[in-house]
Amino acid sequence: MEDKASHAPEIHSYIGTKIVKAYPETKDNIAGHAVIYPDGYKSWSPDEAFEAYQRLPGPLSFSHALFLCRQGKKIARAGWNGKDMYVVYQKAYPEGIPINKNTAEATGLPEGTLIRFLPYLMMRTVDGSFVPWLISQTDALSDDWYILE
């Protein structure tokens, strides 16, 4: 006789992070939430399950904020003193882009040379300028990150 357990699918653990929309909804006299996913898929969860895994997008750790930044969200810290400052994820240019005059002068390469860029984080500063950004220890360990809508 063949062992059916040996043909069972391998089960893996997954970690999910996404922004969903939800509203309170009762089903079969059980309080819960209707959940709408970014692709429009709808589901329902009882309150206990919903509240265990979902929360309002309030203060976040940097790791959560970075994950969402890589999804295209603007992120900022409540602890920053500057108004309208935020960080965005600049995607890579793996196929390369032609460099402008300023970059040509900085690199010593001819203007128009095709160069590849790796992804990086870019900050909008208080004066509205943008600059490549490296995180400080304080920013990395702070739990006051939030998403700009």
More confident residue, 8 or 41: 41
pLDDT band at 3 (very low <50, low <70, confident <90, very high): low
CA distances in angstroms from 39 to 3, 35, 89, 121, 149, listed in the order given:
40, 11, 22, 26, 18
pLDDT band at 1 (very low <50, low <70, confident <90, very high): low
Q: Tell me how far apart the alpha carbons of residues 63 and 85 are, in angstroms, rounded to a whole number.
A: 19
Assess whether pLDDT exceeds 90 at residue 126: yes
- pLDDT at position 13 is 84
- pLDDT at position 5 is 57
Q: What is the pLDDT of residues 49-65, one digit of tens each?
A: 888 877 766 799 999 89
Assess whether pLDDT exceeds 70 at residue 2: no
Contact 92, 118 (CB under 8 A): yes
Q: Tell me how far apart the alpha carbons of residues 123 and 88 are, in angstroms, rounded to a whole number.
A: 6
More confident residue, 81 or 36: 36
Owner of token pair 């490296």: 134
pTM for the full model? 0.68
Share of the chain above pLDDT 90, in %: 70
Question: Across residues 113-141, what is the average pLDDT?
Answer: 96
Q: What is the mean pLDDT of the chain?
A: 90
**Alpha carbon of residue 47 to chain centroid:** 25
Assess whether pLDDT exceeds 80 at residue 68: yes
